[in-house]
């Protein structure tokens, strides 16, 4: 809702597998993903995106805690554009999205 309200077209996927399917078919400019999801976690999702869409711009988010911090560190190693630890202010998400989309397009 926050990104939609800021004028971005937002597609929703309820699992890591659905994220991959959406990226395959819709080719979004940016992929925000949570690290804890049903079916396929965020690290597995980011790894799959890197294999299939190496230039995809990804924001990884997690509620923190030991697993969340490890997942965000792994996501950063896998080349995500930004990591965000929850809770964060809506403006922070909008700012990060704006910065990423204003940068160079992926190859």
pLDDT band at 105 (very low <50, low <70, confident <90, very high): confident
The torsion angles phi and psi of 56, rounded to 5 degrees, stand at -60, 135
Q: Which DSSP category does 60 fall into?
A: E
Buried b (16+ CB within 10 A) or exposed e, 42-74: bbebbbbbeeebeebbbbbbbeeeeebeebbeb
Q: What is the average pLDDT value for the chain, to the nearest integer?
A: 92
Instruction: Place 38 in a pLDDT band, splitting at 50, 70 and 90.
Output: confident
pLDDT at 45: 95
Contact predicate 22/13, CB 8 Å: yes
Please give the pLDDT value at position 49: 95
CB atoms within 10 A of CB 77: 10
- Token readout for 77 is 């190693």
Contacting residues for 97 by C-beta, under 8 A, at least 6 apart: 3, 6, 8, 30, 32, 59
Q: How confident is the model over 44-82, as pLDDT tens digits?
A: 999 999 999 999 999 999 987 778 889 999 999 999 999
- pTM assigned to the model: 0.89
């Amino acid at each position: 809702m926050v990104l939609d309200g800021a004028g971005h077209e937002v597609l929703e996927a309820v699992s890591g597998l659905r994220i991959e399917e959406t990226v395959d078919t819709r080719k979004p400019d940016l992929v925000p993903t949570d690290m804890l999801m049903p079916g396929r976690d965020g690290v597995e999702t980011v790894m799959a995106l890197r294999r299939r869409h190496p230039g995809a711009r990804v924001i990884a988010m997690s509620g923190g805690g030991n697993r969340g911090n490890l997942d965000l560190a792994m996501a950063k190693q896998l080349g995500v554009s930004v990591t965000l630890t929850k809770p964060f202010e809506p403006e922070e998400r909008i700012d990060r999205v704006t910065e990423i989309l204003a940068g160079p397009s992926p190859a």
